[in-house]
Amino acid sequence: MEDYRNYLSDLIHRYRHRVDFLTIRLEKAEGSNIVLRSNQIETLSEGISLGGQVRACYKGGWGFATFNDLTQLTERIEDAITSACLVGDDETILAPVSPIQISCKLPLTGLNPRLIPLFDKKQLCDHYNRILGENNPQITTTKVSYQDSQQTVLLATSEGSMIDQSWIDCEMRFSATAKNGELVQTGRETIGTRKAYEDLTKLETQVESAAKRAVNALTLPSVKGGTYDVVIDPILTGLFVHEAFGHLSEADMAYENPDLLEVMTMGRKFGKEFLQIFDGAMLEGHRGSYYYDDEGTPATTTQLIKDGVLVGRLHSRETAGKLGEKPTGNARCLKGTDHYPPIVRMTNTWIGRGKTPVADLFTNIKQGVYAANWLGGMTNGEMFTFTAGEAWMIRDGKIAEPVKNVTLSGNVFKTLANIEAIGDDFYWDESGGCGKGGQSGLSVGCGGPSLRIKDVVIGGES
Per-residue burial over 234-244, b if 16 or more Cβ lie within 10 Å, else e, is: bbbbbbbbbbb
Q: Are residues 241 and 176 in the same domain?
A: no
Q: What are the DSSP E strand ranges found in 133-161?
A: 139-157
Q: Are residues 210 and 291 in the same domain?
A: no
Distance between CA 37 and CA 56 in Å, rounded? 44
Q: Are residues 300 and 206 in the same domain?
A: no
The reported pLDDT for the residue numbered 38 is 95
Last residue in a domain, options 192, 217, 242? 217
The reported pLDDT for the residue numbered 336 is 65
The reported pLDDT for the residue numbered 461 is 67
Q: Are residues 246 and 394 in the same domain?
A: yes
Q: Structural domain of residue 126, as residue ranges?
A: 2-217
Q: Are residues 205 and 310 in the same domain?
A: no
Question: How far are the Cα atoms of 22, 25, 184, 197, 282 from residue 168, in angstroms, in the given order?
Answer: 28, 18, 37, 10, 16
DSSP 228: E
Last residue in a domain, options 189, 217, 245? 217
Last residue in a domain, options 159, 184, 217? 217
The reported pLDDT for the residue numbered 47 is 94
Distance between CA 79 and CA 297 in Å, rounded? 25
Q: Are residues 249 and 386 in the same domain?
A: yes
Cα-flanking dihedrals φ and ψ of residue 249, to 5°? -85, -10
Q: Are residues 212 and 234 in the same domain?
A: no
Q: Are residues 243 and 169 in the same domain?
A: no
Q: What is the CATH number of the domain that holds 165?
A: 3.30.2290.10
Per-residue pLDDT of 66-92, as tens digits, reads: 999 999 999 999 999 999 999 999 999
The reported pLDDT for the residue numbered 253 is 86
Per-residue pLDDT of 18-70, as tens digits, reads: 999 999 999 999 999 999 999 899 999 999 999 999 999 999 999 999 999 99
Distance between CA 125 and CA 143 in Å, rounded? 9
List, as own/partner pairs, every contact residues 371-376 make where C-beta atoms lie below 8 angstroms and the sequence separation is at least 24, other chains included.
371/230, 371/231, 371/232, 371/233, 371/236, 371/406, 371/408, 372/232, 372/233, 372/235, 372/236, 373/233, 373/235, 373/236, 374/235, 374/236, 374/239, 375/186, 375/188
Per-residue pLDDT of 246-302, as tens digits, reads: 999 999 988 888 899 999 999 999 999 999 999 999 998 999 999 999 999 999 999
Give 167-219 as a DSSP string. Answer: EEEEEEEEEEEEEETTEEEEEEEEEEESS-GGGGSS-HHHHHHHHHHHHHHTT
The reported pLDDT for the residue numbered 246 is 93
Q: Are residues 180 and 293 in the same domain?
A: no
Number of folded domains in the chain? 2
pTM of the model: 0.95
Q: Are residues 303 and 200 in the same domain?
A: no
Q: Are residues 81 and 159 in the same domain?
A: yes
Q: Give pLDDT < 50 ranges for the chain.
A: none
The reported pLDDT for the residue numbered 431 is 85
Q: Are residues 193 and 242 in the same domain?
A: no
